[in-house]
Amino acid sequence: MEQVILKDMGQISYQPAWDLQQQLLAEVIDIKLKNRRSEGDKLAHKHYFLYCEHPHVYTLGRSGSMGNLLLTETGLEERGIEFHKINRGGDITYHGPGQLVGYPILDMDYFFTDIKRFISYIEEAVILTLAEYDLESGRIEGASGVWLFEPDRKICAIGIHLSRWVTMHGFAFNIQTNLQYFDYIIPCGITDKAVTSLEKELGRKVSLDEVKEKLSRHFCELFGFEFIE
C-alpha cells in the first residue's frame, strides 16, 4: 500500500502554500527522474497531501478570464482580498477561512495515469463525505467539482496541474465559508449556477476537523493509500 505524507498547515497565506507545493512537486519529480536514470539502488519515492485554509484570496487558472473578477485592484485592497494568477486548470475561484483546501501531490505512476479518473476520485471522496451528512450530491457534465441540485449549486471546486504525472493544486470544499465573497467574481466563469457550503445546507455549525477526518478516510479507500505524518 502506498504511503502519503499528510501535512495539515492550518491557516496559511496563498503564496507560501503555493511555494511549498512547488517545492514538494520538484522533490517528487527529482526522485522520479533519478530513479529512471539509476541502474543501482533506487531512492524512496514520495507522495504528499496538504490540508489548509487560506485568508481571503481569488486565484485565476490558466484558462480563466480576468473579466470574471468583478472587483478593481482598489476594491480588492479595501476588502483585504489577495489575487493570484496560477498554473492550475480552470477559471477563477475563491479561497477563504472556513473552506477546507486539499493539495494532493501524488506521483500517479504508483496509482494510475488517468487524469479524468483522478479528478473523479477527488469528486467521489467529497460526494461520499456529503452522504455522511445525508446530503445527495453529484457531478455535472462538463463542469468539474461537486454539486447539489434543484437548484444547481457548487459546494466543492477542483483545479489541478500535472507535471510528469505528478499532481499539484487540488480542491476547495466549502464548509463554514462566507459565501458573500463569491459575489465579487463569476465563480469558475459560470453565470447560471450558485455556490453553497456545508453549513448553509445543514443549517448548523460543522467542524472542519470532523469533515477532514471523514474526507481523509474516503481518499484512503478510493486511492488505496494510507496517510502517515
Measure the CA angle with vertex 157, ends 186 and 55; round to 5°. 80
156 is catalytic: no
Q: Give the CB-side neighbour count of residue 26, counting CA atoms within 13 A.
A: 6
Residue 8 in contact with residue 51, Cβ under 8 Å? yes
DSSP string, 76-124: HHHHT-EEEE-SSSSSEEEE-TTEEEEEEE-BGGGS---HHHHHHHHHH
Secondary structure (3-state) at 125: helix
Place of cell 450558485: 194
Residue type, 211: V
Helix, coil or strand: residue 26:
helix
CB 139 within 8 A of CB 146: yes
Using alpha carbons, select from 98, 97, 73 the residue that is nearest to residue 83: 73
Catalytic pick among 52, 156, 188, 220: 188
Residues acting as catalytic residues: 188
